[in-house]
Amino acid sequence: MESWLVYTLAAMLTGGVAMVFAKMGMGGTNEHVALVIRTGVLFAMVVANAWYAGGLKTIRAVDNKTLFWFMLAGACTAIYWILYFKAIKTADVSVVATIDKAGILVTVLLSYFLLKEPLTPRLLIGMATILTGTFILIWK
């Protein structure tokens, strides 16, 4: 199995577990405190990983254009997590997480238009399946 696929499957598994753990912890606090704690742990682990891998040695080499894109990505991630935690506080995490995965459609379309990545028939079928599943969950 290729390494990117191993990483992707591991990310899928840990991402799914993380959402259930977050929902389990929300009984005793509000979504804002939950997100601060989660993000603090995440930040510490990411910095430790970068330090361990030697990645922090090149931080001064990051140019302004790269910094700009990472800052935009960080702002979008913050907004995403704030809204996501608000959603799972009041709804079933299984439904919220499934609908949330429709964001893949936005990623694929932006990667096509902005990054010039190909839209293959297999990818289009996968996107249609995700969109259909999302409509089934939203439809009352």
Average pLDDT, stretch 19-35? 91
Q: Quickly state the pLDDT bin for 51 (edges 50, 70, 90).
A: very high
Please check whether residues 118 and 68 belong to one and the same domain. Answer: no
| Domains identified in the chain, total number | 2
Please check whether residues 67 and 109 belong to one and the same domain. Answer: no
Please check whether residues 120 and 69 belong to one and the same domain. Answer: no
Residue found by looking up tokens 């989660």 in the block: 38
Q: What single DSSP character describes residue 139? A: -
Residues 54-110 pLDDT 10s = 999 999 999 999 999 999 999 999 999 999 999 999 999 998 998 998 999 999 999
Please check whether residues 121 and 83 belong to one and the same domain. Answer: no
Please check whether residues 83 and 109 belong to one and the same domain. Answer: no
Please check whether residues 78 and 113 belong to one and the same domain. Answer: no
What percentage of the chain carries pLDDT values higher than 70?
100
Give the Cα separation of 124 and 111 in Å (integer): 13
Please check whether residues 75 and 114 belong to one and the same domain. Answer: no
Please check whether residues 70 and 116 belong to one and the same domain. Answer: no
DSSP, collapsed to helix, strand or coil, labels residue 100 as helix
Please check whether residues 72 and 120 belong to one and the same domain. Answer: no
Give the Cα separation of 11 and 129 in Å (integer): 21
The pLDDT of residue 137 is above 90: no
Instruction: Indicate whether 63 belongs to any domain.
Output: yes
Residues 6+ apart with CB under 8 A from 133: 98, 102
Per-residue pLDDT at 1: 83
What percentage of the chain carries pLDDT values higher than 90?
87
- Sign of dihedral through CA atoms 123, 98, 88, 41? negative
Please check whether residues 87 and 115 belong to one and the same domain. Answer: no
Please check whether residues 63 and 115 belong to one and the same domain. Answer: no
Instruction: Indicate whether 124 belongs to any domain.
Output: yes
The pLDDT of residue 140 is above 90: no
Range of the domain at 17: 3-91
Q: How far is CA 33 from CA 1, 17, 21, 98, in A?
A: 39, 19, 14, 24
Q: How far is CA 75 from CA 12, 26, 82, in A?
A: 22, 23, 11
> Whole-model pTM above 0.95?
no
Please check whether residues 135 and 70 belong to one and the same domain. Answer: no
